[in-house]
Structure 1
Amino acid sequence: MKAKLFSLLFSGFLVIGGWAQDDSKYGSTPEEVEECKKNLSLYREYRDQNLPDQAMPFWRAAFEICPQSAKTLYIDGAKFYGDILDEIYEDSSKLDIRNAYIDTLMLVYDKRIENFNEEGKVLTYKANDLYKYDESRAEEANAMFKKSMELMGMNTDAIAASKYYQTLYGLYREGKVEKSDLLVEYMPVLDILEYNIAKLDDEKKRGRYEKAKGNLDAFFIKIAECEDIIRILGERIAQSPNDIELNKKALAVMNKRDCTDDPLYLEIAERVYADKPTASAAYSIGIQKLKAKEYSDALNYFEEAADLCGDCIDLNQYYLRAGQSAVIIGNTSKARSFANKILANQPRNGDALMLIGDAVAASAKSCDDGKLGKAGAYWLAVDYYQKARNADSSIADKANQKIAGYKKYFPLKTDLFFHGLEEGASYTVECFGEKTTARSSD
């Protein structure tokens, strides 16, 4: 009898335990669970029929009774309140009720974070809606976007990155932040956008980051002149010269805008490099060496920048500068090696193709075999300039200038005939082992 009673009690505990495990997210009692499921079912039924007014009472009940029941509860709630706000947004007579709905929408996002985490992701939605429906609260939205970026890092949503800078610009226009804040924050945001543009294969997703980058640059251009950058960042750094993070951000901005002539640039670069050699600092010192015509030293710093960079987003820029320096000192094989590394990452990189053209043209003298070897090098160089022009229209003018310059060194038709060639014939440039096409200058 005792054994039977124990068995019944144990079975009861299993049933209760099973209910608690399966249904606890719907409520703490069987009655709450039943009420929660009923309201969830009814609001979803009206939602699916596109009847939000009928859905809302049941949604509110579920929101209060069982906030842990489903993430979709919050996704749907945000849409319900967003649709209401869209309808009344421009009605000035409903300002108070609009603000009440905004506060409720913010609460929906807070409760989603509380019950389902994903704070960085949800803060983007929250900040975006706050700024969308009440631009006077831009400072709050800006702080949310900033926190979202801190939590998400390089996986920050395109909207968060773009709107963070947009709201920061708005605060600058209101006199609530300094221009130096905009200058300093530009590069971290740009890094996020360029990282995702390079990483994403999905054209639609990549397009969102490309659009965000366009918006970012549009705001930056409004405030960024080299004279301002040097003056403002100089004042900011003078206040905190040993703030390495500030120096790093300043250096990145100066590199981006090519504000590299002022002595402040080298001062910052050397300070960052002395603290810890970084790719950006090595590159910056390399730029100064290049301008001072210390080409071998420049090449060494650019190579170091590439080594320190790993697979960072500026790697191709470091390779390009290293290759350009190598051409100047006559190390054309190294220049081509750097160009090929760029092309391995970006097969249609116009600058890399231009670099190969420069390296080939610079080698023309060493290809001179007393016949058409030198001319062959110029033909091949022009081939690469044409490829560069076709790959990147933004460098077409530069490529055309190179093409016109080297066409002057093509042989005459009589010279082609003398060597058994005619216009358009295939020709192998022996010193490079590549085929090109014979062309005359007349």
Structure 2
Amino acid sequence: MNTKTLFTIAAGVVLGIANTNAQATDCATTASIAYEHAKVKNWDSAEEPLWKVRKDCPSYSLATYQFGQKLLEAKYKKAADGDKLGIAKEKITLWKERFQYFPAKTKIGDMHSDIGQIMYDNKIGDKASQFAEFNKAYTEDKANFKRPKKLYTYFSLLVDLHREKKKELQEVFDSYDEVTEKIEAEESRLAKIIATLTEKEEAGTALSSKEKRKLKNSGINLTAFSKVKSGINQKLGELADCKNLIPLYNGQFEAKKSDINWVKSASRRMYSKECTDDPLFFKLVESQHKLEPSAKTAYYLGILALKDKKTSTALKYFNQSADLETKASDKAKVYFKIGEVMKKQGSKGKARSYYRKALQQKPSMGVCYLRIASMIASSANSCGNDVFSKRAVYWLAENYARRAGKVDPSLKSSANKYAANYKAKAPTKTDIFNNPGISSVSIGCWIGETVRVPKL
């Protein structure tokens, strides 16, 4: 190889390195300009350099796609109806590019559920293709598929596909159980935050600005999940009524009575839809108890014992069920049922204990707070030492009623009515003035709690 050839090769290498360095510098410069505009939401100025980085340097930074998503969302909101479809398709393309260049930093649940929602909102593709996106998100990355609206759309599409005879009814039921369980888990997480911060506030401790925001946002998100759960129940509608469940399960019983998973699901759904008077329910419980004695079989046997007015037998089964149950939301239902039995028997202290156990398992079970509030209010005359302390009992009842509405938005209206009723029976501003120096009232008998005197 002669000197001239070597020189030519060396020059080419140097030129290649120089071009690479120049391109890298150009990418960094253009990206810096784009990102600075994007940070202050100056989308008109950010668009050209941002798309240049996206085209010329697609693997430069994840920020290109993050800002790109925000830019397209801003354009979508401002666009006329006729222009939205094109932007929607571009949002889908951007998601796919992000996954291509940054797969490790792109959550499957986020991406496919978002693509599914974009397709649904803009009528892109048919229902089957829209559902396929959601289903991929749910089956491959359930943890990151949790937006209330997307969960509703996912289930709604499944029901629509069933009505078009493209999905089996059993698949609808299975999905309903899974989606509802996921929603209830989110509700419990948010309700626990609300209950903790509310109790702190009621105890007289001021919340920090961060805690106030957390309390507010938790309430907003909890309301959203509550609405979605209600919407899913409405969407399921008559599909899960006894008139559909009984013939469906009767037809499957002989073939599936040895399938413990099917028996569990069928008996649970018949119970939840109050189909327990049909002979099929008894057959299901008996089969389940033979196949796998469990918390559920003990619970159902307790229900049957209650129907026969065998209360002590029912309580025995319910307590067995609570001990065996591992799922928090189901354990809460058992404790609530025991609380209801105790309340009916007049054992208020024991009833409260079980309602509290239910709340420990499922913090969003606001009905427990309403039950406790009701028992406290009904004990006002017997749990105070004088007129003032007897009426002060209603403050405590009011607090419990308000908590119910905070942890379960679906109860907010009725909870506020109960709270207002209790407040009207509590000491007035004049009563407080005539009893100076009292900052709190200790309430005796089975209640055994202290309530702060509010500033009226």
**Normalising by structure 2, what TM-score?**
0.63
1:166 matches 2:156? yes
Q: Distance in 2 between matches of 1:287 and 1:336?
A: 21
Aligned to 1:424: none
1:266-295 C-alpha deviation (Å, 9 max, x unpaired): 333444455544444432332223223333
Give aligned pairs, total. Answer: 366
The answer to whether the 8 Å contact 1:47/1:55 transfers is yes
Which one of 175, 188, 202 corresponds to residue 178 of structure 2?
188
Over the matched positions of the two proteins, sequence identity in percent amounts to 22
Which one of 101, 117, 132 corresponds to residue 90 of structure 2?
101
Aligned to 2:30: 39
Aligned to 2:16: none
Which one of 292, 309, 312 corresponds to residue 293 of structure 1?
309
1:155-178 C-alpha deviation (Å, 9 max, x unpaired): 733233222112212323433223
Letter paired with 1:59? L
Which one of 351, 357, 368 corresponds to residue 371 of structure 2?
351
Letter paired with 1:133? N
Q: Distance in 2 between matches of 1:173 and 1:104?
A: 31
Aligned to 2:113: 124
Q: Which structure has the bigger radius of gyration? A: 1
CA deviation after TM superposition for structure 1 residue 132, in Å? 1.7
The answer to whether the 8 Å contact 1:127/1:144 transfers is yes
Letter paired with 1:350? L
The answer to whether the 8 Å contact 1:319/1:341 transfers is yes
The answer to whether the 8 Å contact 1:180/1:236 transfers is no
Letter paired with 2:69? A
Letter paired with 1:123? H
CA deviation after TM superposition for structure 1 residue 36, in Å? 2.5
1:59 matches 2:50? yes
Q: Structure 1: where are the runs of 5+ without partners?
A: 1-27, 361-366, 368-378, 399-427, 436-442
CA deviation after TM superposition for structure 1 residue 312, in Å? 0.7
Greater RCO, CA 8 A, separation 6+: 2
The answer to whether the 8 Å contact 1:286/1:301 transfers is yes
CA deviation after TM superposition for structure 1 residue 135, in Å? 5.2
Q: Structure 2: where are the runs of 5+ without partners?
A: 1-18, 194-217, 383-389, 405-410, 419-442, 450-456
Task: Pick closer, same or farther for the CA change 1:106–1:117 going to 2, 3 Å.
Answer: closer
1:106-155 C-alpha deviation (Å, 9 max, x unpaired): 52454376241322233322222222222543323323323333423497
1:250 matches 2:288? no
Q: Is the deviation greater in 56-65 or in 348-357?
A: 348-357
Letter paired with 2:67? D
Aligned to 2:137: 148
The answer to whether the 8 Å contact 1:77/1:108 transfers is no
The answer to whether the 8 Å contact 1:254/1:265 transfers is yes
Aligned to 1:91: 82
Letter paired with 1:77? G
The answer to whether the 8 Å contact 2:43/2:71 transfers is yes
1:69 matches 2:60? yes
Q: Distance in 2 between matches of 1:343 and 1:80?
A: 43
Q: Give the 5 Å matches for 1:261-280.
A: 261-280=277-296
The answer to whether the 8 Å contact 1:146/1:164 transfers is yes
The answer to whether the 8 Å contact 1:123/1:148 transfers is yes
User: What SS does structure 1 have at the residue aligned with 2:69?
Assistant: helix
The answer to whether the 8 Å contact 1:168/1:182 transfers is yes
CA deviation after TM superposition for structure 1 residue 40, in Å? 1.6
Letter paired with 2:226? E
Q: Distance in 2 between matches of 1:434 and 1:264?
A: 46
User: What SS does structure 1 have at the residue aligned with 2:328?
Assistant: coil
